[in-house]
A and B are shown apart, each in its own frame.
Chain A
Amino acid sequence: MKTLLISLKIFLVFTVLTGIIYPLFITGIAQVIFPAKANGSLLVRDRQVVGSELIGQQFDSAIYFTSRPSVILYNPLPSGGSNYGLTNIRLKELVTERKHHFYSFNQLDSQTVIPSEMLFASASGLDPHISPQAALLQVNRIAKARHFNDIYKQKLIVCINDLTEDPQFLCLGEVRVNVLLLNLEIDKIQ
């Protein structure tokens, strides 16, 4: 009986401490030091929220860079991947389909090597990045869709180079470019 009483009281104490005070304290600090990040790194254009820098979006229009394949089609409720094993025949079929689509959509010849992330779906279904190589392969198609001449086409390549992120602190993670930021940037090209 005594143990039960102590258990209940200790449980109450730690529920208040780690379940209420701790998250509120962290939220307080977050909202003071990093308000933009704590609220989802939202991107605003013309006073309209157009997305989060961290969450990828579905792009199938010819005037935009395409994101990675996503099982959830970039609908974050809920997030997730395909969970296909490598011996799953469906995965093999999907990769072939995506390969053909990438070739024809971007008018590439079938010798071009497509970066792997454009053929395989991401883990979260919300991956905001692709490799710069995957972006460069899409430049011709976008330039054509936007009726850009060669000078403007060069500007697309400059955008990719400007937005390419190197490994963090020189050593962590992969070289990548954020697709949403890139598409916002090319919308600014006049």
Chain B
Amino acid sequence: MTPHDFIQIVLFIAILTGLTPILGTYMGKVFTGKKHIMLPVFGWLERRIFRFVGADPAEETNWKSYAFSLLMFNFIGFVFVFLIQRFQAYLPLNPENLPNVSWHSALNTSISFVTNTNWQGYAGETTMSYFVQMIGLTVQNFVSAATGIAVMLAVVRGLSRKSTDKIGNFWTDLARSTLYVLLPLSILLAIALIGQGVVQNFKPYEPIQTLQGAHQVLPMGPAASQIAIKQLGTNGGGFFNANSAHPFENPTPFSNFLQILAIFLLPASLTYSYGKMVGSARQGWAIFTVMLILFLAGLSISLYAEYSGNPVFGNLPMMEGKETRFGITNSVLFSMVTTDASCGAVNAMHDSLSPLSGMVTIINMMLGEVIFGGVGAGLYGMFIFVILTVFIAGLMVGRTPEFLGKKIGAFEVQMAIIANLATSFAILVFTAWASVSSYGLASLNNAGPHGFSEILYAYTSAAGNNGSAFAGLNSNTLFYNLTLGLVILIGRFGVIIPVLAIAGSMAGKNITPPSSGTFRTDNWLFIGLLIGVILIVGGLTYFPSLSLGPIVEHLLMNNGISF
């Protein structure tokens, strides 16, 4: 690595940290109903929407109604996205006359986009019409991110209120996140990306004759508008098959920098908003610090692995599946950010990363997508680990565990464990199934331990609602479409529902004023403990599976063995 590589990383972290309090303060105002700068622009629209819908934005509900509204809304989105894929051949904006999508692929894709996963078993440019991309997928890019923010807000309210059963209004949270946060930022980012060369049009594909006289068809479409929200909403579903490695989707190093920044921007800033909303910015910074340390640890290991030579290829820089304009550093940085943040966009093919780098991307997802994590989802996922941490710390000193003055009881710990086990169960059971079945193994692109890693990556990505892939695995089959769809659902709602239950239960509790015996959750001791719990509870579960895949592959590669 050269100083040039380090400068890019430092610049990224500096800008991210600098923007966190700015955007965090703004979002704090938006979510608590205070005056803010976007109110004159979109305030009228919010009032109009609620008049049309016939809901009272100020009317709050308990956690069960909140969860019910959320599920209902997501279900409608799921049905709609499914249907328009099944009938896209009869719908407008399909200049390439793409046929209807198969039922199991459409099912998988609609589950995946509604849940902010954006796993793609299909290739965008040869499967989806402009109509489906815009009216189906782009919409879900927005509202699935807004759903994540809504759940997070419900939890924060549960923590900061006392003796009530009300945790907010789902429709208000959804509408405000979309109107005041996601939409304005997407407009800015989309325009910046077009300035770098991302396409945005409704033209049919452009057939051309190359300089050498060959035939080439250039795909077109309204890409920039979707890519902006794909990154800001940590969705990750590419407009084209190669995702952000495609030159039309990510044409320059600057567009790449903007996209990486956009992935982390909201999850990072939300930690600050959270601090503000519970009345102590330090609480937010403590979580931010935990996330940043875990991110840097993964990045260091991954960079080390990618820059180390290996006996198979000697000291050649490992450029397989990477783009010249990004080079190794930007590819590794992107791969870390996208797997930390449950985004799933890629600017390099993760399948071709060196075994240890590939392993770090898998671990990032296995830890529960809490290293910044998905928009909203990263923070509510982190609260699960916080509850476990204060519980374990409480056991160690023999005091009732507390978090922000709320006593943590058996119910909260049970819910936290359910959320944690749901994802690990889904990952391990389905990986095991796929690796011993002929239909599971038929989709592999690589032999040996790397083949196992492809399967492990797929289910980990689905359970973490990430959506990136070791894309050599042909997942567009009946078996993978259905099992991955199921794992995505478990990974999303198996966490959201317990988390909302915790929010409801916490809201009903009283707040104990802090005393000298209170276990603080905003200092270095807590930061250290929380990291420990994340690594032990989140990570150790998966150690055996990792040793069968990337670890053994690394050892074999270092002995010059190929398959």
Contacts and interface: CB of A to CB of B under 8 A. Distances in A.
Interface of A: 3-11, 13-15, 17-20, 22-23, 25-27, 29-31, 33-34, 37-42, 48-61, 64, 68, 74-89, 91-92, 95, 116-117, 119-131, 167-169, 171-174, 176, 180, 183-184, 187
B174 interface: yes
Nearest to B70: A7
17 contacts: A18-B141, A22-B183, A26-B222, A27-B202, A51-B208, A57-B210, A57-B211, A68-B324, A79-B246, A86-B312, A87-B355, A87-B557, A122-B324, A127-B324, A128-B247, A171-B4, A172-B254
Contacts of B139: 14-15, 18-19
A8 B76 contact: yes
Contacts of A95: 313, 316
A55 B248 contact: yes
B187 A88 contact: no
A55 B248 CA distance: 8
B252 A168 contact: yes
Contacts of A120: 316, 318-322
Contacts, number: 362
Interface in B350-393: 351-352, 354-355, 358
B171 A10 contact: yes
Q: Which 6 A-B pairs have the closest CB atoms?
A: A173-B253, A83-B472, A78-B123, A123-B245, A85-B450, A172-B253
Q: Of residues A50, A51, A123, A172, which shows the largest number of chain B Cβ atoms within 10 Å of its Cβ? A: A123
A92 B252 contact: no
A163 to B, nearest CB: 14
A10 B222 contact: no
Contact of B445 (A5, A41, A83, A121): A83
Nearest to A169: B254
Contacts of B186: 22
Contact of A78 (B69, B125, B229, B445): B125
Contacts of B317: 116
A84 B472 contact: yes
B80 A11 contact: yes
B318 A81 contact: no
Nearest to A60: B212
Interface in B83-112: none
Contact of B199 (A8, A38, A81, A176): A38
Interface in B492-537: none
B211 A116 contact: no
A137 to B, nearest CB: 15
A50 B211 contact: yes
A137 B467 CA distance: 40
Contacts of A54: 197, 247-248, 251
Contact of B174 (A10, A88, A126): A10
